[in-house]
Amino acid sequence: MREVVRTFGGLHILHNNAGGSSARDAAVTEAPEDEFWARIRIDLYGTWLCCRHGLPEIVRSGGGSVINMSSIFAFVGTHGKDAYTAAKGAVSALTRSMAVEFAKDRVRVNAIAPGATATDRVLAMMKVDGVTGISARN
């Protein structure tokens, strides 16, 4: 963050775009614990850490915006992705909390919650899901 401020004279926008899931994610009763912690470290802790260091710079710059990437699965759930769903749900909760906390400092904090995009990678990880109608290619 210091390098950004030194180079550009301030920080006004922070976009936290880390995240992802893996084929190891599963139901809470089946997913390996290290898979859960991997999702928490990447999706939640990465967002939290960037906000921890970025928000003071945004405040010093007179305000701005934080944009966090959540997921539609934070709100609707899905089969076999309980670690990812938990992490993105936490990103959404953290976003709401920071929005309240930093409004007085002229900082908007919002999240974007996109749905899945049917790329080859996503399709390969998805199982047949009668709710979404999307099936994995073999």
pLDDT score for 86: 96
User: What are the tokens at 5?
Assistant: 């401020």
pLDDT in tens, 101-118: 999 999 999 999 998 777
Is residue 135 in a domain?
A: no
Sign of CA dihedral 42, 48, 75, 110: negative
* Residues spanned by the domain of 55: 2-125
CATH of the domain at 112: 3.40.50.720
Is residue 79 in a domain?
A: yes
pLDDT score for 101: 98
Is residue 97 in a domain?
A: yes
Which one is catalytic: 36, 73, 84, 102? 84
pLDDT score for 76: 87
pLDDT score for 61: 96
Q: Give the chain's length.
A: 138
100 vs 118, which has greater pLDDT? 100
Is residue 51 in a domain?
A: yes
pLDDT in tens, 52-93: 999 999 999 999 999 999 999 899 878 889 999 999 999 999
Is residue 137 in a domain?
A: no
On the question of pLDDT at 128 being above 90, the answer is no
Number of domains present in the structure of the chain: 1
Residue 84 a catalytic site member: yes
Arithmetic mean of pLDDT over the chain: 89
On the question of pLDDT at 30 being above 90, the answer is yes
Report residue 136's pLDDT band, with 50, 70 and 90 as the boundaries: very low
How much of the chain is in helix, strand and coil states, percent to nearest 5? 50, 10, 40
